[in-house]
Structure formats: C-alpha cells, structure tokens
Amino acid sequence: MGVAQHLKAPTKGELLLCLACSAYVVYYVLVVVRKPRVVCRTGHVRRFLCVQMEGFVKGYFRTPVWCIGANLQRLVGCLYHVVKKVRQRYPHECLLGVGVSLGGLLVSLYLCQRGRQAQLDAALAVSPPFQPAMAARALANPWGFNRLLNACITRGLVGRLRDNEDVVRASYFQFFSTFLFFMRVIITHNMVSAQRVIRADDVFRCWTLASFDRHYAAPAFGFQSVQDFYENCSLKGKLCMVQRPLVFLVSEDDSLNPETALPEDEVLKSPWLGAVVTPRGGHMGFVDGWLLPRQPFYAERFVVAFAVGLRKVCKARGVRVLHTLGN
C-alpha cells in the first residue's frame, strides 16, 4: 500500500489556517524583520553605538506590529535638584539618565537647558514625544487605534486628578494658577486672552489629550495658551544646546511621534546626539518575539547594553571622557 493512500486531503479550515500562517511568515520576514536606522553624525557617539551596541543597531529587530502633562519646565527644575543631590552623593561616578516617554522628554529638556553645566554624564530617552503639539494632533486622528489610545491616556490623567479632586477644586490652587499666569505676563510683556482659572468640571469631562492640556496643564502652570505650553515643551530647535551624549530610541510607528516629529537634521548636525529608529515598537512597546514574546523586551535590553557600554568606556578612559565625546 502506497504512502499516498494514507494521505487525506486537507479540509477547508486546515487549508485556510496554513495560508494564514504562510502569509504571516512572509509578512514577518518582509515587513517586521528589518534593521533599525541609526541617525547619528560621524564621530565618537556613532562609534560608541556601532561598537558597544552592535547587536542592537546592526542586528534585526523583531516585533509584532500591534505593540502596545504637567508643566515640564517646572518638572525639569525638580529633575535638576534631584540630579544635583545624586551628584553630590556620588561625585566621581558615571551618572546616567534614562527616561521613557514623558521622562525621556524631561531628561532631554534638562540637557538642552543646562548645556555644559549638566551634571548628567549621559542620557538615553526612550519614545520621547519630540513635539507635543504634533503628538496631540496625531492622537486626535478620528481613524485607527490612536483615537482609543488618546482616550485611554486622557482618562488615566483625569483619574489621577479625580483622586485629588479636593485639591483641584481648592481655592488656593485656583489662586496659585492665576498668580503664575500673571507673573508670566509680566515677564513676557505679552497679554493674551487665556483661561486663567481651572474649572474642575471641564477637566473631568476631558476625553482627549488636547482638551486636557487646554483645560488643565496650560492654566495650572501659568502658560498663556495650550500652544504656548506645547512650544515651551518641544525639543525642536533646542537639541543644538545639548553638550552631553544623548541617544534616542524611537520607532517609526510611534503614535505620539509621527514621521516628521524626530528632528533628524538637528540630530545629524550635533556630535552629541544619536538616534536608533526601529521599524516597529509603538510607543514604549518594543515587544519582540514571534508568537509568545517574553521579557526582557528590546527596550530593556537596549538600556542595559547602553549602560554596560558606558561603564566600559568610563572604566577604560575615565568618566570625564564623556564630557568630550562630542568634541
């Protein structure tokens, strides 16, 4: 009896399953499995990325496609005091700053504001929203997953405020926000019509990030408008002031960073900056693996490799070499 007599024709369901699996494998190989782009000027920072982190910038990045504020200037001031305290406690150690999403934006703004006076020796920003105005517009897109993500982020922020509703409605909190607004008007000599008082009911009804920023974030910390808030918190046009090694890890499908959000021209002009742009990863996701992704994911391994690489450089040449890496 031949082998062919024991073989049965596949059912319709089995055939469709095989076709679906084959299509997924083809899609995975052609679309998902692609090398990250390294956006960096030729120099010490690029050499560091290519030598110390070769497996991340040259190897393939595998990830499924479905990876899943307040006044930043004030928070940057808080970050300044925290970094200062840590530096006083460890004056001779390499101090690395790592920020994710909003934290990445804060670390980047800190380096922009402090320049050569920054007490961080190096920094890594994962999925920072480079231009908050562009991020808000991208999330407001009525089509696709961004709309749902926008609502989830906003309701999470509103929930935090609702937990402290008595503080939001307190009269002294309203007075403080109004005082900050008038102080900003006096300093800038620019009086515009803006909402100076926080109306808690309007804040609790917010379902989009733009409305939350308009009703709470901007007036709470004295900004004249939500546009003024976005401009002050944007990294565009400020990265040239960075004087410490700063590396960005971003993905091309980040919901908060459209294609034009990353200021590649500024990154390429500065010897202190570098960016690794992965084809997939979403916003803070970077989940990799075929069907059963397991931690640690790409971003976590990237941070560890970055820290290990810095430690090797500092151990061989001293911490101060990082202050001249861009020269």
Distance CA 14, CA 69 (A): 50
Backbone conformation region of residue 37, classed left if phi is above 0, alpha if psi is from -120 to 50, else beta: beta
* Six-digit token string for 110: 């800190």
Give yes or no for residue 4 having a pLDDT over 70: no
Distance CA 214, CA 194 (A): 10
Which CATH fold would you assign to the domain 35-131+244-324? Rossmann fold (3.40.50)
pLDDT tens digits for range 40-60: 676 666 666 665 555 554 443
Distance CA 137, CA 256 (A): 9
pLDDT, residue 130, reads 94
All CATH 3.40.50 domain ranges in the chain, comma separated? 35-131+244-324
Mean pLDDT (the chain, rounded): 76
Cis peptide before 296 (omega within 30 of 0): yes
* Six-digit token string for 138: 């991208």
Distance CA 132, CA 81 (A): 24
Q: Beta strand pairing status for 37-40 and 96-100?
A: unpaired
pLDDT, residue 193, reads 42
User: Is residue 298 within 8 Å of residue 219, measured between CB atoms?
Assistant: no
Sheet holding 96-100, edge to edge: 37-40, 273-278, 246-251, 122-126, 96-100
Distance CA 80, CA 134 (A): 27
- Secondary structure (3-state) at 131: coil
pLDDT tens digits for range 9-49: 556 555 565 555 545 444 444 444 456 677 767 666 666 66
Give yes or no for residue 199 having a pLDDT over 70: yes
Backbone conformation region of residue 139, classed left if phi is above 0, alpha if psi is from -120 to 50, else beta: alpha
Give yes or no for residue 63 having a pLDDT over 90: no
> According to the per-residue pLDDT averaged within each range, which of 158-172, 191-205, 294-308 is highest?
294-308
Comparison of pLDDT for 55 and 311, the residue scoring more: 311
pLDDT, residue 40, reads 66
Give yes or no for residue 64 having a pLDDT over 60: no
* pTM (whole model) above 0.75: no
> Residue 177's pLDDT band (boundaries 50, 70, 90)?
low
Distance CA 191, CA 128 (A): 31
pLDDT, residue 195, reads 46
pLDDT tens digits for range 221-264: 777 788 888 888 899 999 999 999 999 999 988 888 887 899 99
Catalogue the active-site residues. Answer: 101, 254, 283
Give yes or no for residue 66 having a pLDDT over 70: no
pLDDT tens digits for range 142-172: 777 788 888 888 898 898 888 888 877 764 4
For 212-263, the DSSP string reads: HIIIIIHHHTT-SSHHHHHHHH--TTTGGG--S-EEEEEETT-TTS-TTTS-
For 57-104, the DSSP string reads: HTS-B---TT-----HHHHHHHHHHHHHHHHHHSTTS--EEEEETHHH
pLDDT, residue 171, reads 46
